[in-house]
Amino acid sequence: MEIEADALQAAFKEIRDSRQARREAIHGVAIQSARVQKLLIGEEREAFEKQRWPFVRNRELPYEDFLREQELRDGKELADVEVRAKLLCDCYVKLVKMGDLSFRIEHG
Q: Measured in whole angstroms, how far is the alpha carbon of residue 27 from the centre of its chain? A: 18
- pLDDT tens digit string along 10-25? 777 878 888 888 878 7
pLDDT, tens only, 30-71: 787 788 888 888 888 888 888 776 655 445 667 777 778 888
Q: What is the pLDDT of residue 103?
A: 85
CA distance 70 to 99: 43
Side chain identity at residue 46, one-letter code? E
Going through the chain in order, the beta strands assigned E by DSSP cover 52-54, 60-62
Predicted TM-score (pTM) of the model is 0.35
**Quick one: pLDDT at residue 2?**
75
In sign, the C-alpha dihedral spanning 63, 66, 71, 77 is: negative
pLDDT at 62: 75
Mean pLDDT computed over every residue of the chain: 80
